[in-house]
Amino acid sequence: MAPTEDAAAATPPPPPHFVIVPFVAQGHTIPMVDLARLLGSRGARVSLVTTPVNAARLRGVAGHATRAKLALDIVELPFPTDVAGLPPGIEHVDQVTNHNHCVLLFAALRRLAEPLEAYLRSLPPPRRPSCLVSDWCNGWTAAVSARLGIPRLFFQGPPCFYSLCDINAVDHGLHEQTAAARDDTEKFVVPGMPVRVEFLACYEAVLGKPVWALGPFCLANRGDAEATASRGNAPDVARQSAVTAWLDAMDTDDSVVFVSFGSLVRKLPNQLFEVGHGLEDSGVPFVWVVKESEAAAPEVAEWLAALEVRVAGRGLVVRGWAPQLAVLSHCAVGGFVTHCGWNSLLEAIAHGVPVATWPHFADQFLNERLVVDVLGVGVPVGVAEAAVMMLGDESAPVVAREDVARAVAALMGDGEEAGERRRKAKEYGEKAHRAMEKGGSSYESLTQLIESFRQSGGEKKTEDGTVHAWSPLKEQKKIDCYCNGSTDAEA
């Protein structure tokens, strides 16, 4: 017997299906995995699309418990194997050791458009995608979503402050002015940046598209010790225990400075020596993360071993990956020397930890201005040039040990300025927690996002005859929206 119209009307629509396509870099993938977890925890169906090497990483990070509890699928797309000049097995930015390989990796990623489209077309109802969420570096997904008539959100990890500066710079011809400048160190004022600004409202108005601010995502895992310890990497129980035990031995809260420069920056030996000497000279207890590739050189390994002897009990050198979120959330940690990647800054501020800023490339310099000049929670190390230092550039200027020691001492000091930074950091941390709680701004933004793409249960044919489930938002217009992983707190 066929169901009545009333019974059909009473049947709830299927949950929206978000297909997420992260960029293959640690700092990009981490927040998009967090977004997938949040969407899944709110009842949405989520598919994470990536390549085999990165899928293996994601499975290790997500954990069996997470996949069992949430409707999260990890979908593998075949990675091109015939890209001339790109060594086999390189599918992630962290694996790149040659600048030329970066260009080739981007070229290979663009060729994922065809298998992505094939995957999306293969999905039967009710699993047809409601929305494609792609990293802003994956511009090749735009044509796929357009051909299939699927709304696309682009996920941009940096804050709205950076995005607003960027779009204002474009609108006012600032890029042309900087290109024509005779001196690379010449500074320019970005027009249209009010002193006091609600970053989200201003950027949404300038962009002319809907914006959802959903973070900080790092707080979504609070209460889950395993997720906190493994954020960004597979769990390393022994390393986590060693770092935690060392911090537990500190008898004073907020006394330790944490030093880490993200997953991409690789410092040459001469700069590593200056960092180490600066930390030693500061007299402040520290946890310093040194990448395995940085510590591999014999002279560096020997020097680090000698440093550890000199600072025994006061300093801990962690070789390789460290559980950053677990460290920043520890009560003993009171400061963070950072490269100003937005994930790192969000993790610090969300846990009330002020920062010493050492930007290296891309949005990091504007992020520094935000936390130092606008939010008032940072002290600059003093990088004068916008030097790119991803793979240990020989031409990059060396920051002297005196500057490292000065910044650390100022960050961890007892003076009025240091106290004010700590007060503001804790205040923003409290705001961040409220934003993520039920009823908070980020929680409600996620609710609005999910409801915007909830399928109505109908279907619609595109011009090529393909049948897709449709959503109210898609019926309004073909839309390219913006999804930001930061808070919208007023500054």
Q: Given this model, what pLDDT does residue 140 score?
A: 93
- Chain-wide mean pLDDT for the chain? 81
Over pLDDT 70: what percentage of the chain? Answer: 78
In whole angstroms, give the CA distance from residue 470 to residue 467: 9
Q: Given this model, what pLDDT does residue 469 score?
A: 35
**Cα distances (angstroms) measured from residue 212 to each of 227, 434, 443:** 24, 17, 10
Dihedral pair phi/psi, residue 294, rounded to 5° = -75, -35
Q: Given this model, what pLDDT does residue 26 score?
A: 85
Question: Taking the model in full, what pTM does it have?
Answer: 0.82
- pLDDT tens digits, 26-82: 888 888 988 998 999 999 999 999 999 888 877 766 554 344 444 578 999 999 988
Nearest in space to 451 (alpha carbons), one of 424, 471, 429, 425: 471
Residue 94 per-residue DSSP state: G
Q: Given this model, what pLDDT does residue 148 score?
A: 94
Confidence of residue 224 (pLDDT cuts 50, 70, 90): low
Nearest in space to 326 (alpha carbons), one of 240, 205, 417: 240
Residue 73: Cβ-neighbour burial (10 angstroms; 0-12, 13-18, 19+) = middle
Q: 111: helix, coil or strand? A: coil
Peptide bond preceding 78 in cis form (omega within 30 of 0): no
| b/e code 453-483 from CB counts within 10 Å (16+ = b) | bbbeeeeeeeeeeeebbbbebbeeeeeebbb
Nearest in space to 210 (alpha carbons), one of 454, 453, 435: 453
Nearest in space to 390 (alpha carbons), one of 479, 265, 474, 205: 265
In whole angstroms, give the CA distance from residue 106 to residue 103: 5
Tokens 């682009």 sit on residue: 154
462 has pLDDT over 50: no
381 has pLDDT over 90: yes
Dihedral pair phi/psi, residue 386, rounded to 5° = -85, 65
